[in-house]
Amino acid sequence: MSAPTGAGAGYAPRRIGPRRIGPFEVPAVGLGCMNLSHAYGVPPAPEAAERLLLTAVEEGVTLFDKAALYGFGANEELVGRVLAGHRDRIVLASKCGMTGVDGRRVIDGRPETIRRTADEALSRLRTDVIDLYYLHRLDPKVPVEESVGAMSELVAAGKVRALGVSEVSAATLRRAHAVHPVAALQNEYSLWTRNPEEGTLAAARELGIALVAFSPLARGFLTGAPPDPDALPASDIRRGMPRFDAHHYPANLALRSELARLAEKAGISLAQLALAWVVSQGPHVVAIPGTRSVAHLRENLATLDADVPGEVLAMAGRVLNAATVRGARYNEAALAEVDTERCGRAG
């Protein structure tokens, strides 16, 4: 199978230019596919998810991000089925090292598990090679060198083109990069989650690694309709996140209102302001917002054509940041599972 053609082939140039992830050139805004199968309550109907994915291809998205964990394989199956006919136009990214076992989420970075998970992912994605394969979480029982070493064998075998790591610190990133070149670091990064500024943002740029920002819209908080925590399904992961609890959420909503007024004055949506801020943090930064709405997809992609003044972006960063947000991004149990640097009271 031939390599994807890369960013926006056949599309008009964007104001915000493409970014480099290893051998791939992609638009600065891609698509996170998790919420089509996982984490945010009941997934959309298959036909709605299919429509969203196909629209994304039509609109010039090339980076599609998935993981074995999402829907316990269902997300890879969905993307593989829907996008198989567009394989030469897209960059398929997925993750290993955290999967569903007997209905439970399990972190397992052992080489034998990584090899098995890769073969399963190739089958579900209906492809003979995964373009970008991440270690989803660092397994505390397995040195990162062993996990990345097994992933490098996948590259040598032609099953994977480029490697990534996710939710790790700058020190772990350097250790992984010493075993095999790392093309991408995927960490949470947004106006209200600034952990990459504690080391990984600079380390990735120094090493020539893309920083792929997940949840750049703050898990739906920085969109036109912020979530109502009391109305979220019991299975929605935000119910366990301190920023959405009754103690912290009202103060965060007040900050959001300030940002919304700032966006309105600039003639853009709040989501576009939030995405523009993320991708302005370096030429190596790529954002992968997720959505179930075709309208929101198009709104997010329109950020690439937005001309947002630098002073507006700077003001946004002063309104919402690690010092002003209330509550940690994860609860303590979830924070213990990630290797990233903590950031003030934001966790």
Q: Which residues are catalytic?
A: 70
CA 285, 248, 43 angle in degrees (round to 5)?
60
- Where residue 112 falls (left for φ over 0; alpha for ψ -120 to 50; beta otherwise) is alpha
* Burial of residue 160 (number of CB atoms within 10 Å: 0-12, 13-18, 19+): buried
Residue with tokens 């309550």: 41
Closest CA to 187 of 177, 201, 176, 174: 201
Q: Which two tokens stand for residue 278?
A: 């993320």
Please give the C-alpha separations between residue 327 and each of 161, 238, 252, 316, in angstroms, as whole numbers: 38, 12, 9, 19
- For residues 27 and 19, the answer to whether their CB atoms sit within 8 Å is yes
Amino acid at 322: A
- Residue 160's DSSP bridge partners are 130
Q: What are phi and psi of 258, to 5 degrees?
A: -60, -45
CA of residue 59 relative to chain centroid, distance: 19
SS3 230: helix
| Residues 161, 152 contacting (CB under 8 angstroms) | no
The type of residue at 187 is: N
| Alpha-carbon span 347 to 342, nearest angstrom | 5
Q: Are the C-beta atoms of 75 and 38 separated by less than 8 Å?
A: yes
Placement of tokens 């989650």 in the chain: 193
CB 184 within 8 A of CB 132: yes
C-alpha 146 chain-centroid distance: 24
